[in-house]
Amino acid sequence: MALIQSVKAIQVLDSRGLPTVSCKITLDNGITASSTVPSGASTGTKEALELRDGGDFYKGKGVEKAVNNINTLINPLLEKLDPRDQQLIDQKLIDLDGTKDKSNIGANAILAVSLAVSHAAAKDNNVSLHEHFLEIYHNITGQKVNPSLPMPMLNILNGGEHADNNIDIQEFMIIPKGANTFKEAMRWSSEIYWNLKSILKEKKLSTGVGDEGGFAPNLQSNEEAIKLIIEAINASNLIPGEDVFIALDCAASEFYDGTKYNLAGENKSLDSTAFANYLEELVDKYPIISIEDGMDENDNEGWKILTEKIGSRCQLVGDDLFVTNKTIFQEGINNNLANSILIKFNQIGSITETIETIQIANKHSYKSIISHRSGETEDTTISDLAVGLGAGQIKTGAPCRSDRVAKYNRLLWIEEESPNINLSQ
Ligand code: 2PG
Ligand code: MG
């Protein structure tokens, strides 16, 4: 049983070319395991703090402080600990930080270590990371879950904060729900993606991509984006609403001014009820089965209206609303807000806390969707997390760009190597 010998971090770059934390753990039997943390752009205000250096280098976005915290404070703290004790190690990191939002040591420092610990334990136990996560879930919650391959949600048209176009809704995703295997889901998605590219080209629209690999053309309206995607699904000989469905991430906090939802691209300024009506119309007209952050993170009244209106026939996902924080999430559940939660481990900062939040979702029959951030790296931990916890869904961008496809490719390997684990429907 190997123990932690050293924890070492350096600053590396993410998919946007901005610094992020990478961490390597060495066990006393020579096993090493690494991790790299993601970073968001349309962040919720209640997320755990990503420690940035300020100053001139990297436009203030350096993470040398977080890196130093790992090398000087966390390294001695974890020496000789058993990497299988994920909960104990995460608690030590949380206590070392001592703040609610991890602003002292930095959520990026803490998460990098927390992830690397899980990788090291899996390697030392000689099990796949997803098998290890299944076990951690059991250790932490006392409950068992069934592993499954997550249904992917692929963001093939980007707007909002992730692109320089005029589209206000941040993400237009496809869900290849009719696919029987993950492999088939990815083939369909890639074919739709490529057909969308041809359609955009034909219409003389831009085929440049946004931060998550989806196309980012200028369009007349959000509805036009949906129509183009429907066209691409049809062009792939697939049936919209039968084989493939649509999901949106409005990231509505980004265009809410405190009273109105301002759709600048459509010259519309709508109050909560009017914006809920706007979304309801889209759900009525198109095979949209999931809407994330359909209201601002502080607009509880708006969330109530939206949930009452379409919550029974549409997955309503809280991202900025819940920020993977179990306390905030529990309050939201008590108020009947949304019916699903987006899970991003860097919003809260450790594996243990992420799992606790998923446990609450399971208890209250809220769906969990494991998610990437718009700033990503080659790290594929979220793929294993989605499988091991049987979350059922993952969203990790377009079937394009290595930072996105790395996650899908990892899932293709898991499917190949685990014949007993099936695609969640
Ligand atoms: C989101 C995410 C990921 P960001 O809003 O769901 O798609 O974006 O990482 O910029 O918060
Ligand atoms: Mg979101």
- C-alpha of 195 from chain center: 25
pLDDT recorded at residue 326: 98
Average the pLDDT over 68-95 and give the result.
98
Task: For the chain, give the mean pLDDT.
Answer: 98
CA separation, residue 394 to residues 344, 353, 369, 370, 404 (Å): 11, 19, 5, 5, 12
Q: What's 421's DSSP letter?
A: P
Say if ligand 1 is within 6 A of residue 40 CB: yes
CA 44 to CA 29: how far, in whole Å? Answer: 41
Contact 367, 340 (CB under 8 A): yes
Domains of the chain in sequence order: 4-126 (3.30.390.10), 151-417 (3.20.20.120)
Average the pLDDT over 300-329 and give the result.
98
Could you tell me the distance, in angstroms and rounded to a whole number, from the CA of residue 73 to the centre of ligand 1? 30
Contacts of 279 (CB under 8 A, 6+ apart): 250, 291, 294, 306, 310
Say if ligand 1 is within 6 A of residue 373 CB: yes
Say if ligand 1 is within 6 A of residue 376 CB: no
Say if ligand 1 is within 6 A of residue 16 CB: no
Q: What percent of the chain has pLDDT over 70?
A: 100
Q: Is 113 helix (H, G, I), strand (E, B) or coil?
A: helix
Report which ligand 1 atom has the smallest distance to the Cα of 373: 9
Q: Which pLDDT tens digit goes with each residue over 87-126?
A: 999 999 999 999 999 999 999 999 999 999 999 999 999 9
Q: What is the DSSP string of 312-352?
A: TTSEEEESTTTTT-HHHHHHHHHTT--SEEEE-HHHH-SHH
Q: Which pLDDT tens digit goes with each residue over 10-59?
A: 999 999 999 999 999 999 999 999 999 999 999 999 999 999 999 999 99
Contact 311, 276 (CB under 8 A): no
Q: Which two tokens stand for residue 380?
A: 């594929």
Q: Which two tokens stand for residue 235?
A: 């062009």
Say if ligand 1 is within 6 A of residue 43 CB: yes
Average the pLDDT over 249-253 and give the result.
98
**Angle of the 381-388 helix axis to the 129-141 helix axis, nearest 10:** 50
Q: Which pLDDT tens digit goes with each residue over 284-298?
A: 999 999 999 999 999
Contact 138, 157 (CB under 8 A): no
pLDDT recorded at residue 90: 98
b/e per residue 128-158 (b: at least 16 CB within 10 A): bbbbbbbbbbeebbeeebebbbbbbbbbbbb
Of 7, 14, 108, nearest in space to 63 by CA: 108
Of 128, 147, 176, 131, nearest in space to 421 by CA: 147
With bands split at pLDDT 50, 70 and 90, how would you rate the model's confidence at 425?
A: confident
Model confidence at 252: pLDDT above 90: yes
Q: Nearest-5° angle of CA 352, CA 355, CA 361? A: 150
Q: Could you say which ligand is closest to the alpha carbon of residue 372? A: 1
Which residues does the annotation mark as catalytic? 212, 344
Q: Could you say which ligand is closest to the alpha carbon of residue 15? A: 1
* Nearest-CA residue for atom 4 of ligand 1: 40
pLDDT recorded at residue 52: 98
Model confidence at 72: pLDDT above 90: yes
Q: Which two tokens stand for residue 102?
A: 């991890």
Residue found by looking up tokens 């905030």 in the block: 328
Report which ligand 1 atom has the smallest distance to the Cα of 171: 7
Could you tell me the distance, in angstroms and rounded to a whole number, from the CA of residue 373 to the centre of ligand 1? 5
Residue to mutate, 15, 42, 315, ligand 1, most ligand atoms under 8 Å from C-beta: 42
Q: Is 206 helix (H, G, I), strand (E, B) or coil?
A: coil
Q: Which two tokens stand for residue 74?
A: 């966390």
Residue to mutate, 368, 373, 393, 394, ligand 1, most ligand atoms under 8 Å from C-beta: 373
Could you tell me the distance, in angstroms and rounded to a whole number, from the CA of residue 367 to the centre of ligand 2? 15
CA separation, residue 225 to residues 155, 165, 248 (Å): 12, 12, 11
Could you tell me the distance, in angstroms and rounded to a whole number, from the CA of residue 395 to the centre of ligand 2? 10
Burial of residue 365 (number of CB atoms within 10 Å: 0-12, 13-18, 19+): exposed
Could you tell me the distance, in angstroms and rounded to a whole number, from the CA of residue 42 to the centre of ligand 1? 6
CA 415 to CA 417: how far, in whole Å? Answer: 6
* Nearest-CA residue for atom 2 of ligand 1: 373
Could you tell me the distance, in angstroms and rounded to a whole number, from the CA of residue 8 to the centre of ligand 2? 31
| Strand-pair category, 340-343 with 315-318 | parallel
Say if ligand 1 is within 6 A of residue 394 CB: no
Q: Which pLDDT tens digit goes with each residue over 362-405?
A: 999 999 999 999 999 999 999 999 999 999 999 999 999 999 99
Say if ligand 1 is within 6 A of residue 41 CB: yes
Contact 404, 161 (CB under 8 A): no
- Residue 242 belongs to what H/E stretch? none
